[in-house]
Amino acid sequence: MDQLTQKISEIGVVPVIKLNNPERDAANLAKALCEGGVPVAEVTFRAAGAATAIRLMKEACPDMIVGAGTVLTTAQIDEAMAAGAQFIVTPGMDPELVAYCQAKQLPIFPGCTTPTDYHTAYKFGLEVLKFFPAEQSGGLDKIKAMSAPFPMFKVMPTGGIGLKNLGTYAKSPIIAACGGSYMVKADLIDGQKWDEIADLCRQSVEIVKEARNG
């Protein structure tokens, strides 16, 4: 596992962010996440201005790990990289995008849920996959079943994860980190509830720590 992925895995949770107003919110959000002990973010290209958000978050918290999510094209990879993105997340397994990132030595976590996805990832020598959408695809039971033929992978499940089931996932040695939007919901961001966001991060870190140590 490369150093950056190792750091993400140590943090244990990855907030999945959609920012509608990056000029207003990106810096405050970055500070809130760091304050809460979660200095990592997947900024999705679901909102226009994702690249701006990535740039502003890195400027506000230079040590934070900021990546781009919901990446669908090589043009978005270029845009994300130019803004300072340190990793790429794609919702599905797209060999073209994986090859493109590997040529640039940029970590990529493609969304995988099937044996075919995993097999493609294996051929690329990937070590960590996004497992998406996690709960809807069978959750931890499916992740464990997939690990039988493919024990070389660790996964970052995302989709349907919250404080209630974070610990269950985090306990499994197959899990590198859990992704989720529950600590960065639109109402929290629009309401500028930075303390609440930091608190949800703190709770998440605590849950992961307990799950891993227990």
Catalytic site residue 58? no
The β-bridge relationship of strands 178-180 and 13-17 is parallel
Give the nearest distance from C-beta 69 to ligand 3PG in angstroms.
6
Out of 132, 153, 169, 194, the only residue in the binding site for ligand 3PG (CB under 6 A) is: 132
Tell me the sheet residues that pair with 17: 43
Q: Are 26 and 52 in contact (CB under 8 A)?
A: yes
Dist. CA 195–CA 10, nearest whole Å: 23
Please identify, among the stretches 5-13, 22-30, 146-154, 178-186, the one whose residues bind ligand 3PG according to the rule CB under 6 A.
178-186
Out of 61, 68, 71, 161, the only residue in the binding site for ligand 3PG (CB under 6 A) is: 161
**Catalytic: which of 18, 42, 58, 154?**
42
Dist. CA 25–CA 3, nearest whole Å: 29
C-beta closer to ligand 3PG: residue 48 or 123: 48
Dist. CA 61–CA 208, nearest whole Å: 23
Please identify, among the stretches 47-55, 152-160, 170-178, 191-199, the one whose residues bind ligand 3PG according to the rule CB under 6 A.
152-160
C-beta closer to ligand 3PG: residue 22 or 67: 67
CA torsion 112-118-124-129 (nearest 10°) is 40
Q: Tokens 């995008």 sit at which residue?
A: 97
Catalytic site residue 42? yes
Binding residues for ligand 3PG, per CB under 6 A? 16, 69, 132, 158-161, 179-182
